[in-house]
Structure 1
Amino acid sequence: MTALSPSLWHRFKRTSLVTQIIIGLIIGIALAWLAPDAAKSTAFIGKVFVSALKAVAPILVFVLVMASIANHKQGQETHIRPILFLYLLGTFAAAVVAVVASSLFPSSLVLSTQDVAVTAPGGIGEVLQSLLLSVVDNPVRALTDGNFIGILAWAIGLGIAMRHAGETTRTVLDDLSNGVTVIVRLVISFAPLGIFGLVASTLATSGFGALLGYLQLLTVLIGCMLFVALVVNPLIVFWKLRRNPYPLVLTCLRESGITAFFTRSSAANIPVNLELSKRLGLHEDTYSVSIPLGATINMAGAAITITVLTLAAVHTLGIVVDVPTAVLLSVVAAVCACGASGVAGGSLLLIPLACSLFGIPSEIAMQVVAVGFIIGVLQDSAETALNSSTDVLFTAAACLGEEEKLARTA
């Protein structure tokens, strides 16, 4: 009888990845609670998983975008422009929500300002200059440093150039893209084990004690992300489709958002989003480009993180923010978010750029970044879940909207 029954391991492998991740999460919490010393030793497992994600993410974006553009055939109908518009609209709207929430619920930080002078605002020029330098970065350095803006620029350029290459060359690129995707899926399959190590070691080392001191800040951050995911994004989708958006919104949050919450990498979640787009019946020539593109430039969660943490520093320092400056911050946060790395913690390193608008020096801005890393256990996970699920949501909304428009005019 025992031989006929499937083993516990086989039952586990047959469950969905989301279920496996939840099981790993529960076991990690239990181990940290019952045997904290043993839980601390699992940190290495989590580090290996995170390192693997960081290793595959840059090359994945580079190869997928280049191969998708190179193999796009002339005359094929795609909906990239409306998707790009939704990406930008969603990111800017998220920044506006963060400005309003930070004004209604101002947060204070513990910052050391001794011997640090706050100078006059430096403007948006530094942000634009930084983005331009990222675009023209050396491709090898962009890949090694995880400069996703530079990676995207080179992938698009080479993809356009390769459209004029021979059929054999373009087939090789397509095979290379499939090969990299297989490797990433293999890494993602170890997510339950990696998350077990990360959760167990983190809780055993510091627990949630470090988060309690920044509970209001964390509440504002996650509250903004939930509001965007459950109110703003559905309104955008309703405007595009003119029907109940929540079945599509909840599907994207469940199938993409939960996985991204635990992997904490938009780029590494690309295969999950591609598979979901396929199941939704979307146009392959569209989503094969828009999903990797969204992992780089569709960063509503990053815009919220940059805005809320910047305004928390502004409030702490007693700097007055007027309406025009708040609007400018929303624009800067959206621009900064487009340059956020698609790996864990990428948005935090762009906070100094937004802080420079208010003349906050780097010495203080990097303290704000440190606060971000303290609360990053939850903040970065929620941010990535919003970013990645929105990639599929807006791709689906644009594709379905354009198809319905064509059907009405036919």
Structure 2
Amino acid sequence: MKLLAKLIAGIVAGIIVGGGYYLLGPDGTAGQIMEFIVRLFVTLESILGAFIFFTIPFIILFFIASGISQIGTGSGKVVGATLGVAYLSTLGAGILAYIVASFVMPRITEGSSVPEEGTGLESFIEFELTPIIDILPALVLAFAVGIVMNVLKLDLMIKFFDQGKDITEFIIEKVIIRILPFYIAGVFAGMAATGTVFDTLKVFGVVLLVAIILHWVWLTIQYTVAGSILKRNPFAMLKTMLPAYFTALGTMSSAATIPVTLERAKKNGIRESIADFVIPLCATIHLSGSTITIVSCSLAVMTILPEYSMPGFFEMVGVILLLGVVMIAAPGVPGGAIMAASGVLMTNLGFNEAAVAFMIALYVAQDSFGTATNVTGDGAVAAVIDGYEQKLNKDV
């Protein structure tokens, strides 16, 4: 919650500075002073933004490769089933979010706007930091290396990518997360200076509410399926998992909530051998709540941006498929999933820096709710795998 408070402070500071310039105008001493301050904010945004986007390919490369290399303990069929169910859950959540958001978001965001890049006041300097590797090559390389390391059990390479992940996570937690409020402040200062920010902000509370409602709709669907497989009351199962949900609201971390999720899953009658394997694995690969939020918010931003039109179903399915991959083993810090997903949004949906900044602010604002949905859904995945494993042994 500290990060959310800092982001809100950054948004407020940016709006005050940019709004002051917008009200005063460029004329007069006061106007010139405000113009100088806004340009300072915009310059800071340019420098920090370049660094943030420089790190995204490294997040994708090290976290995905490291995550894939760790998969492989337990029965091969059970591992495959867990991966499949978790991924289908993430995909289904994203499709549900697209169907609802494509209908709701244009009505919510009607009349709002986000300034295009290159409008308004410019920074004092042009700061470019070209990534060493592009996003899609990083994604392909991460998959190729991760799979080979997993198959050949290359301990030295696994250690290298694990340590690369540790370095990247340290940079995210100690550097990027700390500079995000300043970056967001610069973005909002630039938008407030054009006079468009207030129309945009008023719709985002409703956007977040829609995302949270969809979280609970998907949890209901998940436990309806799980309950039908195990022949149990789905709502009773969901009620049993509520302590895990509320723990995740406070911790904002799937990993930190694993002990509670495990205990609640076993309380639901999931066999210990299944729960002990599925719950920790799903903490890194099952991100249905996060996907709902990213899809919902990205469509909201795209309906605001004047040069965009609503993406088609199959185009968005492709994006959702990639989101389910790039967020594997997302950093255990607030906002980690959206940092990893930013590459897909920029590459496949053409998001500019202003749009990504809005996505980061929106995602962090509901990060705890998305995480709570992820971990609560892990209990449903464990129930499905429990039923599958029982049937598998019966058929043998």
Q: Give the TM-score normalised by the residue count of structure 2.
A: 0.58
Residue in 2 that maps onto 1:226: 216
Equivalent residues of 1:306, 1:347 under 8 A apart: no
Report deviation, 1:358: 4.6
Residue 247 in structure 1 maps to residue 236 in structure 2: yes
Residue in 2 that maps onto 1:142: 165
- Match for residue 400 of structure 1 among 370, 387, 391: 387
Q: Which runs of 5+ in 1 are unaligned?
A: 1-61, 117-122, 148-208
- Match for residue 259 of structure 1 among 237, 247, 259: 247
- Match for residue 350 of structure 2 among 350, 360, 373: 360
CA 353–81 in structure 1, closer or farther in 2 if over 3 Å, else same: same
Q: 5 Å matches for 1:38-53?
A: none
Aligned equivalents of 2:368, 2:201: Cα separation in 1: 14
Aligned equivalents of 2:373, 2:231: Cα separation in 1: 22
Q: 5 Å matches for 1:261-340?
A: 261-318=249-306, 319-320=308-309, 321-340=311-330
Aligned equivalents of 1:364, 1:345: Cα separation in 2: 17
Aligned equivalents of 1:360, 1:331: Cα separation in 2: 17
Residue in 1 that maps onto 2:225: 236
Q: Which amino acid aligns with 2:98?
A: V
CA 144–112 in structure 1, closer or farther in 2 if over 3 Å, else same: same
Equivalent residues of 1:111, 1:367 under 8 A apart: no
CA 354–101 in structure 1, closer or farther in 2 if over 3 Å, else same: farther
Report deviation, 1:350: 3.1
Equivalent residues of 2:72, 2:79 under 8 A apart: no
Aligned equivalents of 1:310, 1:228: Cα separation in 2: 19
Equivalent residues of 1:95, 1:334 under 8 A apart: no
Q: Which amino acid aligns with 1:293?
A: L
Q: Which amino acid aligns with 1:333?
A: L
- Match for residue 347 of structure 1 among 333, 337, 341: 337
SS at match of 1:341: coil
Aligned equivalents of 1:279, 1:98: Cα separation in 2: 30
Q: Which amino acid aligns with 2:99?
A: V
Report deviation, 1:212: 5.9
Aligned equivalents of 1:307, 1:89: Cα separation in 2: 16
- Match for residue 214 of structure 1 among 182, 201, 204: 204
Report deviation, 1:130: 7.2
Report deviation, 1:395: 0.8
Report deviation, 1:94: 0.5
Over the aligned positions, Cα root-mean-square deviation in angstroms equals 3.8
Residue 380 in structure 1 maps to residue 380 in structure 2: no
Residue 111 in structure 1 maps to residue 114 in structure 2: yes
Q: How far does the alpha carbon of each residue in 1:230-257 deviate from its partner, in whole angstroms, 9 at most, with x for none?
A: 2x213432563455422222222x1311
Equivalent residues of 1:296, 1:341 under 8 A apart: no
Moved more, 320-329 or 297-306: 320-329
Equivalent residues of 1:299, 1:337 under 8 A apart: yes
Aligned equivalents of 1:249, 1:363: Cα separation in 2: 39
Aligned equivalents of 1:125, 1:99: Cα separation in 2: 23
Q: Which amino acid aligns with 2:286?
A: N
Q: Which amino acid aligns with 1:301?
A: G
Equivalent residues of 1:78, 1:286 under 8 A apart: no
Residue 82 in structure 1 maps to residue 81 in structure 2: yes
Percent identical? 23
Q: Which runs of 5+ in 2 are unaligned?
A: 1-65, 120-133, 147-157, 171-197
Report deviation, 1:77: 9.8
Aligned equivalents of 1:134, 1:306: Cα separation in 2: 27
CA 299–261 in structure 1, closer or farther in 2 if over 3 Å, else same: same
Q: Give the TM-score normalised by the residue count of structure 1.
A: 0.56
Report deviation, 1:270: 1.2
Q: Which amino acid aligns with 2:320?
A: S
Q: Which amino acid aligns with 2:116?
A: T
CA 77–361 in structure 1, closer or farther in 2 if over 3 Å, else same: closer
Aligned equivalents of 1:93, 1:275: Cα separation in 2: 26
Alignment coverage as a number of residue pairs:
271
Equivalent residues of 1:68, 1:285 under 8 A apart: no
Equivalent residues of 1:95, 1:330 under 8 A apart: yes
Q: How far does the alpha carbon of each residue in 1:58-90 deviate from its partner, in whole angstroms, 9 at most, with x for none?
A: xxxx9xx97994xx6xxx798333222221111
Report deviation, 1:282: 3.5
Equivalent residues of 1:302, 1:383 under 8 A apart: yes
Equivalent residues of 2:87, 2:286 under 8 A apart: yes
